[in-house]
Every structure is written in structure tokens, then in C-alpha cells.
Structure 1
Amino acid sequence: MKIIFFLFLFLSLTQPDAVFGQGNDREWPAYGGDPGGMRHAALSHITPDNVNQLKVAWTYRTGELEYYRNNDAAEKAAFEATPLMVEGVLYLSTPSNRVIALDAVSGAEKWTFDPKVNLKEDYSEITSRGVSTWPGPDVVGNNLERRIYLATIDGRMISLSAATGKPISDFGKKGTIDLRKGIGPISVTSPPAIIGNTLITGTSMGDNQRLNYERGVVRAYDVLTGKLKWSWDPIPRAAGDPARATWIGKKAAQTGAANAWSILSVDPERDLVFIPTTSPSPDYYGGERIGKNEYANSIVALRASTGELVWHFQTVHHDLWDYDNAAQPALINVERNGLKLPAVAVGTKMGHIFILHRETGKPLFRVEERPVPRSEVPGEQAYPTQPFPILPRPVGPQHISVADAWGLTEVEREIAENRIASLRNEGPFTPPSLQGTMVTPSNAGGVHWGGVTYDPERKLLITNINRLVAVVRLIPREKLKEEEGKNEALLRAETGLQEGTPYVLKRDYLFARNESGLQMQTKPPWGTLLAIDMNSGELKWEVPLGFMYDPQTYPEAVNWGSINFGGALTTAGGLTFVAASLDGFFRAFDTETGELLWQNQLPASGQSTPMSYQIDKKQYVVISAGGHGKLGTPLGDYVVAYALE
């Protein structure tokens, strides 16, 4: 046994850090740069010393806004795509799922493909975070043409020729797989993962309107033919599955979702795919699914070739807070006791960052189960404990009190105090209640879908987070109209019908709405960028990210941070690039210190994640800038590339 253990440690120690790119042209062949989603460019042409010379190299407009005429798409649209760059060509997708190929040096359009998605359907959101390409670096001896894979919000998987943008006729049926067949009206908002000749995809769906949502299955297809290879359901249905005992109740088998809507990561050397699963439906009431609900709200490692379960680690037991695993799991190497170990870094909405061994799922930094508050809602049984990482320490606010109330005026601060005092508020994992509960952090993070990036030279894990508090209230179904009649704020709050349960959800946030926009009710900062030293697990620095109030009127607003969506990019040159904030700036920070070194106003806000590549010794940094309908930022249709003059 000891021999096996030391052999395992030796093999782990000798595994190299993941790198991407070949020859003189440094590419960005996957959503996260490499298949494991480190989002790090091993490029050093742009540095802290010269980043202030960064200028716009080219701008491309997708024409997307024309597609929002005569429908309500603009209210739900967000340009969240991260382009790929392989063989001198950029490939990206728009919110309406059009695919565009651009010359990576000039930004000139090479081709476009329109899948003709019906934007009048009732989608939860209208977005696409990007496309995938095959063959990958782990495919040897292939002489077939390069392909681009698009997953759509109307539930299709499409294979395109990278050269022409035309569908590959021998994939599925004339280039398309119907992902809704046998499942129901699911969407896909993230690019599929590709490992060898296997294409793996999760699904997206709304999850607050009813109990019996569609199954959140993860499916794998042959990359050439589109033939189904395997499927895996995050809600255990088989009688022999030991996790099934953690789903209790007559309606437990009707539960849907627990789907993986975010980015999947793959480890080709280990034949593993890492699945970030989400909350079962509905998000805020689990009385029909009492128990731990294993596989939901988990990081699940599957054998990529077969779909066999290898290990799982649950980040939230019996989710009642919409604490989806929204971030792509980042495959990194960390050093513990002098050994380099393969790890999975998991950033969560709760502000918890779990560092797990990639081959076993065991925490590499200590995690402990702690008691959490009980539910007072009839029919509900909140799980008595939750996992808390000791290191890295939770990021973002973990508890808000009346002392944290904030307002621009004394009257506004008092209104915030009274609101906070009226809510159930017992710290992390306080369950939803009939009186109203503060959920800290909110379902928007903590760490959100923007995820984490890892600088392997500096051993720093970088992430941007929200410091936003949600307010949730459950209302007995028969009393909904009566309660809305008493409280005008309930009418404005988001409604989740949660059909199949006794309660309707009302969700809002700790801000007020007035003529000037959002009035935040908790102390700033409301969004930050931070770095964690992966050798020690300790926070190295944290700085405000962006602003939400006009600095000309409120000079201190530059220190207040902004609600943000979209991720960061690190480079070997020692820079961290990030947009994400509501103010519409694209920024570069010193990765070592967090110092802001450069910023540039985008033509529309960049609720997306940037990427970088190098051609002919020139490094480019590219970001999609199209705004966000649900956040209320002005929409645009820009792809902007930056380079040194």
C-alpha cells in the first residue's frame, strides 16, 4: 500500500503544468485557453511597463442588434462569448448563436453562419459563451478538416467546417443533433467540451417555475458522426446507486435540473471530464427532495470515454439558495509539502473556494462540516451542516448586519437599516423563510460564472467577485395575491412559481430602485478583484473592480466597486485583464500587487471573459463588448482587439 502511495505522489509531482500554443503562433484553442480552463496566456509581450501603450488594433461589429427587432430578445440578451483562435482565425458566437470567423490579425470577416434561432421563444436567457473546435492537441494522426461546434439556445448541436462555415453533412442529421429529443425544451449556453474524439455537453434551463423540470443530463457524442456515446444524470435514478438514498420524498423522483449549464473541463491525460452541477428544481424549496441530494451542487469527475462516475464532491448539501456551481472548474497544479499535485480549483457563489485533488476529489486544503441554521418553513428540512473550506478563506461578505446598512443620505441609510432588521439573518446558509431571508452571498456570487484564472508562474489564483446580498421570501401559494396586495415591493420582486410545491418564491436584492437607478443598501465595495496564493491558500490582495455611481458626482465611487459578470485573464507578462463591471471599462491590473495599470472605455460594457494570442511576435488581447440586457447596460455588438502600437 505504501509503495502505491509513493508511486502516486511521484507521478503527481512530475506532471507538467498545462500550456497551450505551438511554434511562433500562440493560440487560444478552448474557451478557457487550455482544456482545463486555467485562462492563462503564456505570453509576455505586453507587460506592466508597456501596458499603458495598449491601443485598439481593430474592432468588428457583429450586426447582432438587428436580430432583436420585433421581439423581446434585447431584455434577455448578453454578449458573453470568449473567442477561440487557432491557425490564425478567430471563431466566436453571438447571443443569437450566429457563428463568425475573423482574421486574427486584421479582424476582417471570413465567414458567418446563422442557425436561425427563433428569438421569440421563451428562453431563460439569450446568450452563448462560445464555440469549440476539433481536432484538439490530444488528437494524433488526424488528417480531417478542422471543425467548429456550436450548441444553441434552442437545443441543437451543430458541426461546421472551420474553413467555410458550412455544416458537416455526415455529423448527426445534415450537420445537426437535436439535443431536445427525449429530454424536452432545454437550452445550451456554453460551448461543449472536447476530449479526443468525444464531444460532451451539459444543458441550461430555468429552474424556479416548477418542480418537474427536464432532466439535467450530461451527454457525450462521437465528434465525427454525432452518435451518442453515453449519458449521465445528476439526479440518481438507478435503484443501485447509493446516492439515491439522499433524495427522500414521494415527489423526489420528479425533481429535475441539477444540470451543468456552465463550462466543463477535461483532462485528456487522465481521461476525465469535470462537471459543475447545479441546484435541483426548484431552487428555494426542497421539501419534496429531503436529504443531502448528492450529485447536485457538486463537482463530478466522470471517465470521459465511458461516462463512469470516478468521484464527486458536493459544495452545497440540499441547496435552498440557488447556489449553482456556475464557474468552470480550473485544472491547476498546486504544491503541498513540497509536492506538486494535480488539482481542481472550484470557485463558488458562496465565496467558498475548494481545492480538490484531481484524481480523487479529496480536499488539498482542509474542509470542515459546520452546523447551519434550521428551516422554519413547514415541510422543509434544511440539511444540518454545510462544508466550509478552512483555506482559502471564504471571499466576499459572509454575514451582513444592521451596521452594514448604507445609503448616500441619512434617510436612505435608515431605510436600509430597517429593511435589514426585518429579515431573517443568521449568517451563511440561513434558509428561506416566510418572513423574508437575507442570502449572503447572493445567487449572483461570490464567485459567479466568470470563474477563476490561474497564473502558474506566480502561483496565484485570480477571481472577480460580487458582494451582493439577496432577499428571498416564500409565500404560501394560496396567499400570494393577498400578500402582493399588502406590499408593493413584492409586486416588483422576481417571482418563481415553484409549481408542484406549496410555496411561491419572491426574490429581490439589497438595493432600492429610484429615478437615478439602483440605490445600493449595503456598504461598498460591491465588486472586487482578488488574488490567492496557492502555496499558502492565503489572500494576497483584493481591490475594488469598477464603479456604479458617477465619479464626477461621487469621487469616492472609484473605490466602491461594481456588480460584475464575466471573468479575468492572466498572462505570463504579469498582467490580469478584466472588464465585467457595469461602467464599461476594460482594465489591466498588476498580477503581483493588484495595482490598476491601464483602463480603456469599451463601446459597450464587456460582460464576457477576454482572451489573448500572439501572431508574428505581436500579442493581441480580445474581448466581446455587447452589454447585458438583464443588468440594464446598453447593448452593443462589438469585438475589440488590443495590441501595442
Structure 2
Amino acid sequence: MRSLFRLVAAVVLCTRPALAWEYWGGDRGGQRFSPLTQITPDNVGTLVRGWEFRTGDLDARPPEVMKRTKFEVTPLLVEDSLILCTPFNEVIALDPGTGAQKWRFDPKISMAQRPANRFVCRGVAHWTDDRAADGAACKSRIFTGTNDTRLIALDARTGKPCADFGNAGEIKIDAGMKLAWPGEFQITSAPVTGRGVVVVGSAIGDNRRVDAPLGAVRAFDARTGQPRWTFDPLVHDGIEAGHSNVWAPMSVDEERGLVFLPTTSPSPDFWGGKRPGNDKHANSVVALRIETGELVWAFQTVHHDVWDYDLPAQPTLARIDTGSDMRDVVIQPTKQGFVFVLDRDTGKPVWPVEERAVPQNGADGEQLSPTQPFPTHVPPLLTQRITADDVAGLLPGIGSSACEKLLAQSRNEGLYTPPSTQGTIVYPMTGGGVNWGSAAFDPVNQVLYANVSHAAHIITLIPRDQAKGFDPPPGHDFGQQEGAPFAMSRALAKSAVGSPCNKPPWGETVAVDLKAGKILWHSTVGTSEDLAPLGIALDTGTPLVNGVAITAGGLVFTGAMDAYLRAFDARSGRLLWLGRLPVPGVANPMTYLWKGEQYVVIGAGGHSEAGTSVGDSVVAFRLPRQGEGVSLLARLIDRPGGRFAAKAVATGAVLIVLVGLFRRWRRRRRVKVV
């Protein structure tokens, strides 16, 4: 029966128009699954670079501006073009076969602003107006949000603004209050569309103040730009808090007319004494009617969050085999490494979720929830507590003493230990577990794939009388949390040599059989090559905020914080191929078929927040054409550590030549002296 199901699913997948990557998550529900099978585990090792496109930002922008960018874009393939956005919200259309630029739109955002989440644009949305005549301007539209909070509609074929949308093609979104600084309020993730409506969230600066801008989600008529509805995830009855916003990608069920929101923690993140209770509907998966904004259901994954454990990942819409029936579900991975699986119509857990007691005794004035929800069927994707046995330096015995001291002096009672003036270990860290890269789901084999990060944060509450003029140590994130009795400091728990305190791996791809509730495999992703001095490549894994793309050909593609695109065997997790990139590809890859050839594409622009080198490239790989190929030497050099080894060999060769020349010179000089 299972094999029959897989066959039917494969036929359905391969007959529907899904050979293109038309949405940020591959499809409306963010499955990140492609039915393409041209590239397989048997031939992926022969992939060659098809083309590279540079946006020009690296040459056109000052270094101090580029140091505030994150190139996290995933292109779409629509209207015979690859369409993407730059960190500065320029929208660019490329030829899918050559990478040549077809058109470009520049919204001319100010470089003087300092966006709270840096300059970033994860992608754009596409919508087709079925009422417009064929060939009409803006029948096919691209929607993009900007760092200066505009929603812009462009003709997908020409890149020209849609004159009938908003004010000459754009809507300026009002935060509803004076901003603390230009950039406190921005849009970072792609809008979503459905049933003639375009929906957009917002990213709001964390930990500046209790009274932060509201986190309202806004919907507009996709044709005219007229407002349709707004929805504030946070119920403000009797509480003081600004935002519980939706900065992460959203999902749409067009058939049901639902939009699914992954909501964040309320402001500020680490002290909630002025927002008693569970902070409904913060830290929740929320289902709304996309045409009206009516609340259908909400499921909260964290009660009264004081750990910054918001929902950063796109809710994945899938049809799964539960063991008793086939059911349409919402799969929501979290920073803690949990996977919640919810019925799509009701929001009720498909498998039991238990309320379990968690550590108490929070900071003065805090009112913690006594319990938190724990899924029981699908195991956590990573460990959720760090102990002295888990501590390590970069190498055994090197740099570990600082970590041991950190653990000894910090409060550390496991998951949901409350922030404290003593300093609290938050593990997984606030950017750990699954992040905005989200999960991917194979509907044929019923397997979920996700990237996870393993690292710890030290969160310290600073009493208000000590916060004024506080000078945070290097590497510490500091927030005043104005309106609260405490400011906050956040730092990665690091050894004396700068590596995370916990033992590697620090980044992994994980495969999960949802029906069985079983982890199938873990594979380390990333090396230290492009982060460590001299290009030393240690197989430690790197933190992974980005996600994966999976294919019916049996492959899992992912970038990392070293400069490689990787391919893993989807069944075993075995690393099969690495493609060298100009700088790290901290973005979600995508794949498409163009003129009979399958391409795999990733944005390679680095990630300034993580300390990598930055760039402005989009790189495509494909199978070699007749007469093409890569030499064995080139393949060896392009493996982690290969460049370091090649440089070492070259340096050694130069030294040998120089020593030889020096000896020859000495011999000649001795002859002259005699």
C-alpha cells in the first residue's frame, strides 16, 4: 500500500506545473520540494558552474554599508525569468540559462538608515491577475517589501511599477507611532498572495523598549492596493507590550482561503512582567481567512516567552500519513528544535502535546508560565541542554576552561531556564534550532528535512540603575528594554579561542520520518575554512540559519557559513558533492528546469552578522554538457581544506626555489672571494 501511495504521489507531482520554483518556499505551503530528477546521487558529483551573476553591490556600496548586509534571497522562476531582490531591495530579473540581466528596478532606499535586522531581503512574491487581459501590463505582478517599509508592485515581465496599485505602484506602510530610529521597523521576508489579496508582515527592532511598534500583519487588494484588513497577533487587554509581529515567511492554502502566520515573542524579549499571562496569540501558529483577516484558529508553542523563542520558520503545509489516515497538516519547526504537527482545519495537534513543568523563579516582577508545551511523537531535532560534559574548546584541552567557568557561574537548569541578573544559559540559543530557512518536506517519501544550529547564549538582565551608560563587552548584544526594570545583554557562549562552548557539530541537516516519529539521520554541514585563520578546514559544522531544497531525484541541497553549496543523499545523509562559491551562501537554494537542463541556484553574498566575508553573487550549477567537465585537481582544490593545502604546497614550492637561489648565490659569492 505504501509503495502504491508513493507511485500515485509521484505521478501527481510530476504532472502538475511544478517544474518551476514559483514561490519563496517552492510552493505556497513552503515544502521546498522539487519533482525534478535529472540530477541524481549518481551524477551530482559532476555538476559544473553554469553561470554567476553579480548584483554590483560590492562595487557600488561603501564597505561600511556592505558590513550591514545579509544576502538571504531565494529567487523565483516566473515569466521565463529568475527574479530576486538584493539586500537593498533592488529587484532583478535574470535569464535562467545564462544569468544575464533582463531588467532591474531600484526603489532607492536610503543608505543612511540603520535597519534593526540589517539590510536584507529574503525574496519576492508573484501573482497573476486572472481578470486582466492577456498581454496587459501588470497582469503578472511581483510584490516586494522594503527595508523602509514600502510594499511595491512591479510588472513581472518588464520590472516597471504597476501604476494602478497604491500610489504609482507602491504603498508606504505606517508603523503607527514615531520610530526610535530610522530602521526600527522594516520588511525582511517576502509577501504572500492568495485570492486576490497580498499579505505582508514586518520585522521590528528587539529589546529597545516595551512600547515598541505594533506587530500588525497587513493585507491589501492585489490589484488596487486598497487596504483589506490588519491583524495584531498580540491581545493587548491589560498588558503593556508593543509587538508580537510576523517577520518570518508566511504560507497560504489557496483552496481553503487561509494564510498561516508564524508569530513572534512580545516586546521586550527577556522580561515580561508588564505582560502577564500567556500573551495570546504571540509565539503561535495563527490561521486567518486571507480575504477578511478573520481568526480561524491559533496554537501557541511558547507561553509567556522570555527567551526570544519566537517562530522564525515558515509553516510547512503538507499532506501526511499519520498511521491511521492521510491528513492535511501544518508543520511548524521551532528554535528549540521542536516539531509541532497541527491539523490544518482546526489547529489541534495531530499527535499529543504535553504541558510539562519548567524552571521557575524568574527575575523580580516576572510572572512565568508554570508549564510549556512539549510535542511527544516527533523527537526534538537537537539536544536541549548543555552540561559540563558537553563543553569543549576548539581542540581538546584548548580554550575549554573559559566555557567551564561560564557554565559554573550561570543559571542553567535546562530548557526554559528564566533570564537572570546572574546570567542564564539559553540552549538552544535564540537563533538556534530551526531558523528562517524553515523545513522541507518530501511528500512522496513522507520525510521532513531541516537545518539546525547547536550553540548557547548567555542572557544577562541588568538592573535599570546599572543600565544607563552600560558599556557592553565586545561581542555582546545590548538592549535597554526601556520601560522594564532591566536592560539585557546577550552573548554567544564562546571559548577562549572564539569557538562555541558546546562540542561540535555546530550545524547539521536532520531528516525525520514523521509517521514513525523517528530521526533518520544527522549530517554535519559546514567547516571552519572560511571563518578560521589561514583557511584551516575543520569539520565542525557551522551555525545554519538558512534551509535546504530537496528533489525527487533523491538529493538535499544546502549552503552554510563556509563558501560551499552541498548535496547530500536524501536517504542516507551521505555528503555527495560540494560546489565552491565566491563567499558563503547563507540563503535557501532552489532548483528549476530550463530548456531541458536542471539548474541548482543559491545566493552567495555572505552574512555580515555571522562575521563571514560578504559578496553579491548568485551562482547556478548544472550537469556538464558534452566536452565540459572539471579536472580531478580542481575537484580536490574545491574540497574543504583544498585551497589551504594548495596554498601550503605552493608556498612550500616557492620557499624551496628561494632557498635554492640563495644557496646558489652563496656559492658564487664564495668563489669570487677566493
The match for 1:644 is 623
Contact 1:101 1:110 in 2 (8 A): yes
CA distance in 1, matches of 2:476, 2:538: 29
For residues 315-334 of structure 1, the aligned pairs below 5 Å read 315-334=301-320
Summarize the Cα distance change of 1:616–1:24 in structure 2 as closer, same or farther, 3 Å threshold: farther
Summarize the Cα distance change of 1:266–1:551 in structure 2 as closer, same or farther, 3 Å threshold: closer
CA distance in 1, matches of 2:405, 2:573: 36
| Deviation, structure 1 residue 553 | 9.8
The match for 1:498 is 481
Q: Secondary structure at the match of 1:582?
A: coil
Q: Secondary structure at the match of 1:342?
A: strand
CA distance in 1, matches of 2:121, 2:496: 29
For residues 149-188 of structure 1, the aligned pairs below 5 Å read 149-180=143-174, 182=176, 185=179, 186-188=185-187
Q: 1:99 aligns with which of 91, 102, 108?
A: 91
Contact 1:24 1:615 in 2 (8 A): no
The answer to whether residue 59 in structure 2 is matched with residue 66 in structure 1 is yes
**Larger Rg belongs to:** 2
For residues 457-472 of structure 1, the aligned pairs below 5 Å read 457-472=444-459
Residue identity opposite 1:382 in structure 2: L
Summarize the Cα distance change of 1:141–1:456 in structure 2 as closer, same or farther, 3 Å threshold: farther
The match for 1:12 is none
CA distance in 2, matches of 1:415, 1:57: 46
Larger deviation: 286-295 or 144-153?
144-153
Summarize the Cα distance change of 1:306–1:552 in structure 2 as closer, same or farther, 3 Å threshold: closer
Q: Secondary structure at the match of 1:269?
A: coil
The answer to whether residue 102 in structure 2 is matched with residue 110 in structure 1 is yes
Summarize the Cα distance change of 1:106–1:19 in structure 2 as closer, same or farther, 3 Å threshold: farther
For residues 197-596 of structure 1, the aligned pairs below 5 Å read 197-237=196-236, 244=237, 248=238, 252=239, 254-407=240-393, 408=395, 410=397, 412-480=399-467, 490=473, 492-512=475-495, 514=497, 518-548=498-528, 558-579=538-559, 581-596=560-575
Contact 2:34 2:550 in 1 (8 A): yes
| Deviation, structure 1 residue 532 | 0.2
Contact 1:25 1:614 in 2 (8 A): no
Contact 1:73 1:120 in 2 (8 A): no
Residue identity opposite 1:99 in structure 2: V
Q: Secondary structure at the match of 2:51?
A: strand
| Deviation, structure 1 residue 182 | 3.6
The answer to whether residue 142 in structure 2 is matched with residue 148 in structure 1 is yes
CA distance in 2, matches of 1:130, 1:16: 29
Contact 1:375 1:432 in 2 (8 A): no
CA distance in 1, matches of 2:606, 2:416: 32
Contact 2:564 2:579 in 1 (8 A): yes
Q: Secondary structure at the match of 1:478?
A: helix
Q: 1:41 aligns with which of 34, 49, 63?
A: 34
Once the two structures are superposed, what CA deviation does each residue of 1:554-588 show, in whole Å capped at 9, x if it has no partner? 99965421112211000010000000x22111100
Structure 1: runs of 5 or more not aligned? 1-14, 238-243
| Deviation, structure 1 residue 183 | 5.5
CA distance in 1, matches of 2:273, 2:515: 42
CA distance in 1, matches of 2:91, 2:14: 23
Q: Secondary structure at the match of 2:45?
A: helix
Q: Secondary structure at the match of 1:101?
A: strand
Q: Secondary structure at the match of 1:270?
A: coil
| Deviation, structure 1 residue 20 | 7.4
| Deviation, structure 1 residue 161 | 1.0
Q: Secondary structure at the match of 2:610?
A: coil
| Deviation, structure 1 residue 179 | 1.0
Q: 2:577 aligns with which of 598, 602, 605?
A: 598
| Deviation, structure 1 residue 301 | 0.3
Residue identity opposite 1:46 in structure 2: I
Once the two structures are superposed, what CA deviation does each residue of 1:259-285 show, in whole Å capped at 9, x if it has no partner? 000111000111110000001011001
Q: Secondary structure at the match of 2:369?
A: coil
The match for 1:9 is none
For residues 604-643 of structure 1, the aligned pairs below 5 Å read 604-643=583-622
CA distance in 2, matches of 1:26, 1:539: 29
Task: Say how many residue pairs are matched.
Answer: 607
CA distance in 2, matches of 1:104, 1:190: 23
The answer to whether residue 90 in structure 2 is matched with residue 90 in structure 1 is no
Q: Secondary structure at the match of 1:355?
A: strand
Contact 2:9 2:444 in 1 (8 A): no
CA distance in 2, matches of 1:444, 1:627: 17
Contact 1:21 1:28 in 2 (8 A): no
| Deviation, structure 1 residue 491 | 5.7
CA distance in 2, matches of 1:128, 1:498: 27
CA distance in 2, matches of 1:76, 1:482: 24
| Deviation, structure 1 residue 490 | 4.0
Residue identity opposite 1:610 in structure 2: P
CA distance in 2, matches of 1:288, 1:73: 37
Residue identity opposite 1:78 in structure 2: K
Summarize the Cα distance change of 1:22–1:519 in structure 2 as closer, same or farther, 3 Å threshold: same
Q: Secondary structure at the match of 2:204?
A: coil
Q: 1:120 aligns with which of 91, 97, 112?
A: 112
Residue identity opposite 2:380 in structure 1: P
User: Sequence identity, in percent?
Assistant: 42
| Deviation, structure 1 residue 184 | 5.5
Q: 2:127 aligns with which of 131, 134, 139?
A: 134
Q: Secondary structure at the match of 1:292?
A: coil
